[in-house]
Structure 1
Amino acid sequence: MPAVQSLADRLAERTARHDMRSRWFGAGRTVIAVAQLSFMLLTPVKALLVPVVGLGDYPHCNSVRAASAMCLGDTGVGPEAQRWLLIVILAVAASGYRPRWTAIPHAWATYSIAVSIAVPDGGESVAMIMCFFMIPIGLADDRTWHWQQPTRELAPSWRTLTFVAFLAVRVQIAYLYLDSAISKFGVADWANGTAEYYFLRDNMFGVGKPWDGLFLTLSKSAFVVVALTWGALIIEIAIGVCVLASDRWRKAGLAMDIVLHGSIILTMGLWSFALVMIGSAVVCATPEGRAPSGARGTARPATDDLQVQVRPPSPVH
């Protein structure tokens, strides 16, 4: 059918010029690693592995959880050494050194954190999923540092594999935001626009200094509370739609993501969770095509690397 053939041709064209070896991808990967690194550096082992009533001591090393770095105790490695092992892996990944070599260890580190600590939040799960989806992209990245521009063309097989992985990342992030927003409409406080009033006053996650006076005063206005509550839902829906769209719209989604999670950092904290989500949005905003510097090929340059050279006119004799 002509429509199917046209779709196949467009897909083949996009795959042929697809290349994720970009500073955008490197920056997103670094932000995710820094989020997890800050969490592991600033949290003592006794807090990471605190016993939970009804669930016993942590880590749980049954089934697939035995693959966690926190389950290396049988070899004589203590929990403090395990923590520092994860810190080193995350630090190397955050530096951008050898993405091809560090992609799998990075995923292993995020997996170990997500399945082994006693009280994980959503950020640990998102980081784990993102890092596993980014493994093919990392394995295709032959740069010494992920801050560098590539110098060689990417093989067609790697283009196809990374294209599929990139789609999976975007679909996953879009699902997270759309599901988060839509599910909130089933909660009375979100539906009637009062949720932010109660969140700002929550004993554990409420607004802290130095912003508490300002936000608590503003939240006494019904208009402000409704704007904050429904505004968050609208932004979440917009982000979910934008990450599935073109390069320009994905960058718009990134801007909204920074505003949303930057506001959460200012009011409620949740630094590691916010940084994981921002880093994921940066990865989603990565332009799909680029031309390696110093290499011959047909890859189209990305907009972030596109340069126009103007040659001065020859003198007239």
Structure 2
Amino acid sequence: MADRPASALDRALSRFDPRTPWFGWGRTLIATAHLITLALTPTAALLHPLLNEAPYPHCQKALAVSAYCVGGEAVSQEWRRWIMVALLAVVASGYRPRWTVWIHAWLLYSIGVSIALPDGGEAIARIAGLLLIPMGMADDRRWHWQRPATPIGPTARGTAFAAFWALRIQLVILYVQSGVSKFGVPDWLNGSAEYYILRDPIFGAAEPFTTPALWLSEHGLTLGLLTWGGIIIELVIAAFLLGPERWRKAAFGLDVLLHASIVATIGLWSFSLIMIGCAAVAAAPDRTPLADSSRTPPQRKEPRKWQTRSSNAAKATSAGAPGSTVPL
């Protein structure tokens, strides 16, 4: 009785294991988001100089460790771009998460602080990249798609559990802030915000969803649902991420719905993939079974002593050993 966990926290910690397929999918989606950005965006566009600022990348002080700065002028920015694409492909593949979480965090930092116009997705990914390190350090698998084969140690379990909760709380704060801040904007309060967003000349609805999106936003009922639906979903996601496993999975489903809608209407592929990837890690189940944990290898039975003696006697008799007799 004394050995039983004394609290809900003890019970949650005792069954926690970060090495789940959700962790793997989350890492892959976050890495894929930046891989697509780097592969499909010219270097000149990412490092385009801004008004009244020095040319990018900025490499002073802590920024000097960025992948855009290490090596100085000896390495061209175009070469750096494709090296980062290759490294992100390795991360996305799921190979050796214990080591590639460090590479991933470095690349996320580099992109976030070195390109000229990072968006909210880059800022979120930088934080997520750091919080994935303790979870990745607890992961001894060759591929993050495999089921773990060994138990997790208490120190690794504790640090990974703390990082898991830190990521969940970060997402909760983000979605609460995003939802509540809209209450201070008249267009969101009166339900008309999506009308103007979908018609924005830069971030407006894109093909092939332009026609249906514009049609829906021309009617008061559907426009109100589009506008207030986003706010409600954000707040529900935040609440569910604090709940038990089944609530977190529901939050993940709503997160996919929300960001798929954003992609379908105004694009923002990279941002949406990052958010879905973070939500996947935050919605991971509390535990994952070890590989073949339900199977035990068949044990070879030792022959009984009388069987061994009989067997030896038979062998001696058949070989005609001295003193042996042949039974009638």
TM-score (norm 2): 0.86
Query: Does the 8 A contact of 1:73 with 1:79 survive in 2?
Result: no
Corresponding position of 1:108: 106
Counterpart mapping for 1:265-280 below 5 A: 265-280=263-278
1:65-116 CA distance string (max 9 Å, x none): 1111001252611111111221121111000000001011100001100000
Counterpart mapping for 1:147-296 below 5 A: 147-294=145-292
The one-letter amino acid of 2:93's match is: S
1:266-289 CA distance string (max 9 Å, x none): 111110000000111111111011
The one-letter amino acid of 1:74's match is: G
Corresponding position of 2:47: 49
Corresponding position of 1:34: 32
Q: Residues of 1 paired with 2:97 and 2:293: CA distance?
A: 20
Q: Residues of 2 paired with 1:57 and 1:147: CA distance?
A: 41
Q: Which of 2, 19, 22 is matched with 1:21 structurally?
A: 19
Corresponding position of 2:324: none
Structure 2 unpaired stretches of 5+: 295-328
Superposition RMSD in Å: 1.5
SS at match of 2:7: helix
Q: Residues of 1 paired with 2:171 and 2:135: CA distance?
A: 16
SS at match of 1:286: coil
Query: Does the 8 A contact of 1:114 with 1:128 survive in 2?
Result: yes
Structure 1 unpaired stretches of 5+: 1-5, 297-317
Aligned-pair CA distance for 1:164: 0.4
SS at match of 1:69: coil
1:228-263 CA distance string (max 9 Å, x none): 111100000011111111110001001101111001
Query: Does the 8 A contact of 1:153 with 1:295 survive in 2?
Result: no
Aligned-pair CA distance for 1:182: 0.5
Greater CA radius of gyration, 1 or 2? 2
Aligned-pair CA distance for 1:125: 1.1
Aligned-pair CA distance for 1:63: 2.5
Q: Residues of 2 paired with 1:8 and 1:89: CA distance?
A: 44
Query: Does the 8 A contact of 1:152 with 1:294 survive in 2?
Result: no
SS at match of 1:71: coil
Corresponding position of 2:300: none
Corresponding position of 2:116: 118
Aligned-pair CA distance for 1:52: 0.4
> Is 1:95 the equivalent of 2:98?
no
In 2 relative to 1, CA 74–167 (structure 1 residues): closer, same or farther, beyond 3 Å? same
Q: Residues of 1 paired with 2:95 and 2:182: CA distance?
A: 40
The one-letter amino acid of 2:166's match is: A
The one-letter amino acid of 1:87's match is: V
Query: Does the 8 A contact of 1:152 with 1:295 survive in 2?
Result: no
